[in-house]
A and B are shown apart, each in its own frame.
Chain A
C-alpha cells in the first residue's frame, strides 16, 4: 500500500461525504418512526410502536398497500416477460428495426417521468383506464421495462447462441430450445429483474399521482396525501418498512445474480 497522498485523502473525504448525505436521511427517519410526538420532530422523544399499529390498523393504509402490492406483482410479471422476450428478439434477431426498438424500450429512463405521467393521464382518461389496476400496471410496465432490458441483455449476451442450435440439432423445436436451454441459464437474472420491477413499481410516486382515482390510491400516492394533510410519524413508520423491504429485495437480487455467475 502506498502512503495516502493529499489527493487520495480528498477523494476519500468526498466519497464519505456523498455516502453520509445518502445514508443520514435514512438514519434520521428510522428513530422518528418510534417517536411519541404527534408531529415529525428530530431528535425523537420516547419510544412507541403506535405509528406502526396505526398503519396496520387503518383500512385506508391497508387498501393502498394492497393496491400497490397487486400493481407491483403484475408489473413485475409483465415487465419481466415482455422485457425478456424483447431483449431476446434484439439480441438474436436479424431485424434492422433493432436499434429503433432499443431506443423505444429504453426511452422511459430518459424521458422525465412527469412528461410520461401527463401523457399517460390524458390518454388513460380518454380510454377509461385511469385509476384502474390495468392502467397502473400498463404505466408501470413501461417504466420498468428499461431495467429488465438492461439486466436481460447482459444475461442473454453471455449465452452461446450455438447452445440453442445444438438443442435444435438434437430434435428440440425453437421454443423447446429456448425453454429448456436458454431460459434456465438466464433464470436468476430474470428473477432479479422481476424483483427490481416490483420495487420500482411499488415505490413509484409520479405516474401514480396522476393516475390515482378517488378510491384507487397506491401507497406512495396515499403517503403524499398524508404528508399534505397530517404529517404524523406514520410516514416515517411506513418509510422504515419500505427501507426494510427494499434492502431485502436488493439482497435477494444480489444472491440471485451471484448464483448466475457461478454457473
Chain B
C-alpha cells in the first residue's frame, strides 16, 4: 500500500462507470449503467429498493464484481481489484464500528492496515475525530456513543487516510430526523473541506436533492435520469422520474399536434395548445399522452395567463407554509394544489368548485399513460 501517494492526493478522483451489468441468476440488478463522475463531485444514487443503486455502490467498493462493464477511478481500472486495495473510504448504514476497539483505535484502523507507527496513527486519528467534531472521544467505546456520534466516527474512519473517493450506503437512514439533517450538513461541510469525490446511495429524495451536485435516478437497474436537482425537479426526463421526484399531478390526454404546434385533447372535451418546450417526450399525433403539473405551480382563480381548470374540492389541508387543496377534475382525475399564504382562502370548503390557472410553462407532456 502506498502511503505517500495516499497522503498527497487530498482532493477527489474522477470515476467512470461504463456499461456496468450485474446479474444474479436470471435477474439483472444492474443493467447497462454509465456514469461519469467528475473529480470532487458529490453524486447521489437515488431509487426505490431493488433499483440497483446499492449494487452499483458495492461494485465501486469492490464487494461485488460486475458481470460485465468497467469501473475506472482516475483512469485506473479497478473493476476486479479487491476492496482492500482500492483506497476508497466507505460508510455503511449501520455504523459498523468495531465494538471491541476504542473510538481512537477504530479511526486509526485504516492507518494500522497501512503500516503506520502507533504515534502517527493516533495523531492522525485524533485529527480526523476533530474534523467530525468528536475531539476527545477517542478513549470511549462505540456503545457509549449515540447513533449520530457513531456515524460521525465511521465518517472519520473513512476519511482518516485521505482517500480520493468516499462511498456512502444510506448512511443516515438509521438516524432520526433531526440528527439526519445535522449529519446532512456535516457531510456537505466535509465534502467542501476535503474536496473528496462522494457517491451517496439513498432512497430519500429530499436528502438526494439537498445534498448532491447531481442525482442519478435508478429503476430496475437502469438510469432513468441523471442531472442536478433543479433539472430533475423542473424537467423530469420521463414519467417515472416525474412521479418519483416530488409531488406531481397527472392527466391522461390525447395528442392533437399538427406540425410544430403542440396541442392536446383533455378528457372533458377541451383542446389546449401548449408551448413546444412542454413536450419532454413528444408523443405522435393521435397517441395517448400524459400532462404533468406540479401542485405548487397551480394558481387559484382564473385571472392570470394560462389554461383554466375547474376542480371540485374534496379536502382542504392546512400544511403550515402552504394550503393543500385536493379535488377532482370534471372527468374525475385527482388534482392537488399547494397554495402559499393561506389567509385569503378561509372561505373555501369541501364541495366547493374552484378555478385554477396552470401557467403555460408549468406543463410537461410525456408519452404513455398515467399509472
Given A166-B96, A173-B82, 13 more contacts at CB 8 Å? A162-B96, A163-B96, A165-B83, A166-B90, A166-B92, A169-B86, A171-B84, A172-B109, A180-B98, A180-B109, A184-B100, A185-B99, A185-B100
Task: Find A263's partner among B85, B100, B114 (CB 8 Å cutoff).
Answer: B100
Q: Is the CB of A168 within 8 A of B92?
A: no
Q: Which residue of A lies closest to B113 (CB)?
A: A171
- A contacts, CB < 8 Å to B: 160, 162-163, 165-174, 176, 180-181, 184-185, 263
CB distance from A4 to the nearest CB of B (A): 42
25 contacts between A and B (CB under 8 A): A160-B96, A162-B96, A163-B98, A165-B83, A166-B90, A166-B92, A166-B98, A166-B157, A167-B109, A168-B63, A168-B82, A168-B84, A169-B86, A169-B90, A169-B158, A170-B109, A170-B110, A170-B113, A171-B85, A171-B114, A171-B161, A172-B84, A172-B113, A180-B98, A263-B100
Q: Is the CB of A165 within 8 A of B98?
A: no
Q: Is the CB of B113 within 8 A of A181?
A: no
Q: Is B89 located at the chain interface by the 8 A CB criterion?
A: yes
Task: Report the separation of the CA atoms of residues A40 and B100 in the bound assembly, to the nearest whole angstrom.
Answer: 53
Q: Is B88 located at the chain interface by the 8 A CB criterion?
A: yes
Q: Is B61 located at the chain interface by the 8 A CB criterion?
A: yes
The contact string, 1 if C-beta is below 8 Å from chain A, for chain B 151-164, is 00010011001000
Q: Is the CB of B84 within 8 A of A173?
A: yes
Q: Which residue of B lies closest to A165 (CB)?
A: B63
CB distance from A30 to the nearest CB of B (A): 41
Task: Report the separation of the CA atoms of residues A171 and B98 in the bound assembly, to the nearest whole angstrom.
Answer: 14
Q: Is the CB of B100 within 8 A of A162?
A: no
Q: Which residue of B lies closest to A187 (CB)?
A: B100
- Inter-chain contacts of A168 with B (CB < 8 A): 62-63, 82-84
Q: Is B94 located at the chain interface by the 8 A CB criterion?
A: yes
Task: Report the separation of the CA atoms of residues A8 and B99 in the bound assembly, to the nearest whole angstrom.
Answer: 44
Q: Is the CB of A169 within 8 A of B89?
A: yes
- Inter-chain contacts of B90 with A (CB < 8 A): 165-166, 169
Task: Report the separation of the CA atoms of residues A180 and B109 in the bound assembly, to the nearest whole angstrom.
Answer: 10
Task: Report the separation of the CA atoms of residues A167 and B99 in the bound assembly, to the nearest whole angstrom.
Answer: 12
- B contacts, CB < 8 Å to A: 1, 61-63, 82-90, 92, 94, 96, 98-100, 109-110, 113-114, 154, 157-158, 161, 167
CB distance from B150 to the nearest CB of A (A): 12
Task: Report the separation of the CA atoms of residues A168 and B109 in the bound assembly, to the nearest whole angstrom.
Answer: 10
Task: Report the separation of the CA atoms of residues A8 and B179 in the bound assembly, to the nearest whole angstrom.
Answer: 51
Q: Is the CB of B92 within 8 A of A165?
A: yes
Q: Is the CB of B100 within 8 A of A169?
A: no
Q: Which 9 A-B pairs have the closest CB atoms?
A: A171-B113, A169-B90, A170-B110, A166-B96, A168-B84, A168-B83, A162-B96, A184-B100, A162-B92
Q: Which residue of B lies closest to A166 (CB)?
A: B96
- Inter-chain contacts of A166 with B (CB < 8 A): 90, 92, 96, 98, 154, 157
- Inter-chain contacts of B94 with A (CB < 8 A): 160, 162
- Inter-chain contacts of A167 with B (CB < 8 A): 98, 109
CB distance from A169 to the nearest CB of B (A): 4
- Inter-chain contacts of A162 with B (CB < 8 A): 92, 94, 96
- Inter-chain contacts of B157 with A (CB < 8 A): 166, 170
Q: Is the CB of B99 within 8 A of A169?
A: no
Q: Which residue of B lies closest to A181 (CB)?
A: B98
- Inter-chain contacts of A180 with B (CB < 8 A): 98, 109
CB distance from B181 to the nearest CB of A (A): 25
When A162-B92, A166-B92 are in contact, do A171 and B1 touch as well, CB less than 8 Å?
yes
Task: Report the separation of the CA atoms of residues A184 and B106 in the bound assembly, to the nearest whole angstrom.
Answer: 14
Q: Which residue of A lies closest to B98 (CB)?
A: A181
Q: Is the CB of B63 within 8 A of A171?
A: no
Q: Is the CB of A263 within 8 A of B99?
A: yes
- Inter-chain contacts of B154 with A (CB < 8 A): 166
- Inter-chain contacts of A171 with B (CB < 8 A): 1, 84-85, 87, 110, 113-114, 161
Task: Report the separation of the CA atoms of residues A173 and B109 in the bound assembly, to the nearest whole angstrom.
Answer: 13
- Inter-chain contacts of A185 with B (CB < 8 A): 99-100
- Inter-chain contacts of A160 with B (CB < 8 A): 94, 96
When A162-B92, A163-B98, A185-B99 are in contact, do A169 and B109 touch as well, CB less than 8 Å?
no
- Inter-chain contacts of A170 with B (CB < 8 A): 84, 109-110, 113, 157
Q: Is the CB of B113 within 8 A of A176?
A: yes
CB distance from A35 to the nearest CB of B (A): 51
Task: Report the separation of the CA atoms of residues A185 and B101 in the bound assembly, to the nearest whole angstrom.
Answer: 10
Task: Report the separation of the CA atoms of residues A171 and B108 in the bound assembly, to the nearest whole angstrom.
Answer: 12
Q: Is the CB of B113 within 8 A of A169?
A: no
Q: Which residue of B lies closest to A171 (CB)?
A: B113
Task: Report the separation of the CA atoms of residues A185 and B167 in the bound assembly, to the nearest whole angstrom.
Answer: 26
Task: Report the separation of the CA atoms of residues A167 and B100 in the bound assembly, to the nearest whole angstrom.
Answer: 13
- Inter-chain contacts of B92 with A (CB < 8 A): 162, 165-166
Q: Is the CB of A169 within 8 A of B98?
A: no
- Inter-chain contacts of B83 with A (CB < 8 A): 165, 168-169
- Inter-chain contacts of A184 with B (CB < 8 A): 100
Most buried by A among B1, B100, B157, B167: B100
Q: Which residue of B lies closest to A161 (CB)?
A: B96
Task: Report the separation of the CA atoms of residues A48 and B83 in the bound assembly, to the nearest whole angstrom.
Answer: 68
